[in-house]
Chain A
Amino acid sequence: MKKIIWIILILFLCSACTMQPKTQLPEPTSEPIETPAPTPIINTTIPLQESTAVDDSYFDDVVFVGDSRTLGLLDFNLLSNSTVLASLSLSVNDLDIKKVIPHGTENITVMEALKEKPYRVIYINFGFNELGWSYPELFIEKYGKIIDEIKAIQPQATIIISPLFHVSKRHEQKNVKYENNANIDLYNEMILNMATEKNLLVLNVHEVVEDEEGYLISDYTEDGTHLDIHGYQIWVEYIKTHTMEGNQQ
């Protein structure tokens, strides 16, 4: 009998000492997290075609939402009657976090600013700062959510989305990680697929800022990734001649 008690006690002790703490790591998995391949483009989206140029009053109730690639509209004082809700370094994750839009004596977020007044047309342009994300599919998921939120805030507005224009040949030759045209193409596929799903109009501004090899034209950029004043002037002319109203005529 004593032997049995001894055996039970020893077993109990052994089991106590091998009990695992709550923070024990689960078995590591050797399977890498795979990024799903982008789904093929089903491009039923309507790219805006060339139309009769509108005058500046067209932009009275237009807002541009974006990152540093949109900010130049403010920096170069172009389309000054439009609203520009943009900032350096902004990503789709930041729109309800970063208070980067001046509002009286304080700053507010882009999403807060969009609630301030109704707009007729919303141009939206994101993706460049997200090129290095570990999971590109999360970018498009978040971008889609943002579009849905903007639609809810501005149900009367037409949303026009821009795929990313490429970087310059010189920039690409620097081998900058992520900021290359192959990666931009991957993101553009996702952007165009999302535009199709959500019936958004598409502004293919890259048509006029890229050369025949698909590089951002060096005359339109200083740093190889952003437009300079000449590039923005080309962009503005493109917008004026590719409007929703013009396409409906």
Chain B
Amino acid sequence: MKRLLLALALLILMSGCTAPTKTINPEEAASLILEKGTFETTFLKLDEDQIAGIYPEAKEVSDRFAVYESDSLEFEVIAVFSFTDENKAQTMLENRKESLLREAQNYFPEQVSRIENALLIKKENCLFLIIADDTQVIENLINDMK
């Protein structure tokens, strides 16, 4: 009987193994960044078609995502992808950053450093690509996300 009780106690203790991983909701995270961050321009929330044009692998590497793009020629981006394939999602965001960098080098050299200093980080289930002048505040915000 004691052994049974011990086993039950173990079962309760080890149930922690199945505790759900923390998950971040990309829509909520992007909205929060939009609200708390400092940006030069106004943003447009992209629909699925628009996102597919810019991030062609989005549905292949991510199950939920939210993307805001500047509606002007300022290169500012808030992109949050809940990844299903982290490596591919990372590559997809790096490609986007490289593409914007190339455009800036061609036409808007004053914006090159902003893109070079873009924030591309992972937090829990999400990858974030943030292009803004002040990414420190946003990085702190992301690190505090639960």
Contact = CB atoms under 8 A, between A and B. Distances in A.
B56 A100 contact: no
A16 B82 CA distance: 25
Interface residues of B, number: 40
A87 B50 contact: no
B56 A132 contact: no
> Binding site of A, secondary structure by majority: helix, strand, loop or mixed?
loop
Range for the number of chain A residues in contact with chain B: 35 or more
A142 B49 CA distance: 10
B53 A93 contact: yes
A13 interface: yes
Interface stretch (A22-30, A155-163, A197-205): A22-30
A222 to B, nearest CB: 14
A11 B38 CA distance: 53
Interface stretch (A1-9, A49-57, A72-80, A114-122): A1-9
Given A5-B4, A23-B23, A98-B71, A13 B14 contact: yes
Contact of B14 (A16, A93, A98): A16
B73 A88 contact: yes
B95 interface: yes
A184 B107 CA distance: 19
Most buried by B among A12, A23, A98, A109: A23
| Most chain A Cβ neighbours within 10 Å, of B3, B103, B106 | B106
A19 interface: yes
A96 B95 CA distance: 22
Contacts of B124: 23
A134 B14 contact: no
B25 interface: no
A100 B73 contact: yes
B102 interface: yes
Contact of B85 (A5, A26, A134): A26
B10 A129 contact: no
Contact of A13 (B4, B11, B87, B108): B11
Contacts of A19: 17-18
Contacts of B14: 13, 16-17
Contact of A135 (B56, B70, B83, B103): B56
A5 B18 CA distance: 21
A201 to B, nearest CB: 26
B7 A23 contact: no
A21 B20 contact: yes
Contacts of B143: none
B54 to A, nearest CB: 6
A207 B102 CA distance: 28
B99 A9 contact: no
A98 B21 contact: no
Interface in B71-119: 71-73, 82-87, 95, 98-99, 102-103, 106-108
Interface of B: 3-4, 7, 10-11, 14-15, 17-18, 20-21, 23, 44, 46, 50, 53-54, 56-57, 69-73, 82-87, 95, 98-99, 102-103, 106-108, 124-125
Which 4 A-B residue pairings sit nearest by Cβ, starting from the closest?
A21-B21, A17-B17, A93-B53, A23-B125
Given A97-B46, A98-B70, 10 more contacts: A16-B18, A25-B83, A25-B87, A33-B57, A89-B103, A89-B107, A93-B54, A98-B71, A129-B106, A135-B56
17 contacts: A2-B3, A6-B7, A9-B10, A16-B14, A16-B18, A17-B14, A19-B17, A22-B21, A22-B125, A23-B82, A88-B73, A89-B103, A89-B106, A98-B71, A132-B99, A133-B99, A177-B102
